[in-house]
Amino acid sequence: MEKEKLLESLKDKLKEKGYKLTVQRKAILDVFLENQSGHLSPEEIYDSVRDKYPDIGLATVYRTLQLLEQLNIIYKLNFDDGCSRYELNTSSEDHQHHHLICVECGTVFEVKLDLLENLELEIEREGEFKIVDHNVKFFGYCKDCQNKSH
Ligand SMILES: [Zn+2]
Ligand SMILES: [Zn+2]
Ligand SMILES: [Zn+2]
């Protein structure tokens, strides 16, 4: 989506819940808007924000990320590599896409393919469990890393 439009809609989302688009919040949202397919760690966000706003502290970044996550504006992702990452919630549906994680360089890719609804139906057909969501991560080697060492 176009950056300006997206920012407007995010601003509305904040307003709806009674929050203002402060300078810090805008600075952090700008980082997400500039990396719309990114999966960013708090440190990466902090580094980008600091270029434009040298006064911002890491604690503020953490606090803002927490708030944006609570408001469902961003998603927190856990890739079992010890650092949490965030991405913009641009989907209108509840279900977020799945991820491919390169075990060599740590790059995260998105998979749009989702054939798991059928699996959910199969599981539910047994009648013991009602599924509301699923979360899948695939680990492997990205193209670059395959060319390097595999
Ligand atoms: Zn890689
Ligand atoms: Zn993602
Ligand atoms: Zn899925």
- 71 in the same domain as 145: no
Ligand number nearest to the C-alpha of 115: 3
| Ranges of H-type helices in the chain | 3-16, 23-34, 42-52, 58-70, 116-125, 143-149
At residue 107, the pLDDT reads 87
Task: Give the distance from CA 83 to its chain's centroid.
Answer: 13
Ligand 2 centroid–CA 85 distance in Å is: 9
- Smallest CA-to-CA distance from 149 within 104, 109, 101 is with 104
Ligand 2 centroid–CA 134 distance in Å is: 14
Residues whose beta carbons lie less than 5 angstroms from ion ligand 3: 114, 116
- 49 in the same domain as 2: yes
User: How many domains are contained in the chain?
Assistant: 2
- 48 in the same domain as 2: yes
At residue 91, the pLDDT reads 66
Ligand 3 centroid–CA 97 distance in Å is: 6
Asked whether the beta carbons of 102 and 66 are under 8 A apart, the reply is no
Taking 50 as the pLDDT cut, the residues of the chain under it are none
Residue ranges making up the domain that contains 67: 1-90
At residue 94, the pLDDT reads 63
Ligand number nearest to the C-alpha of 37: 2
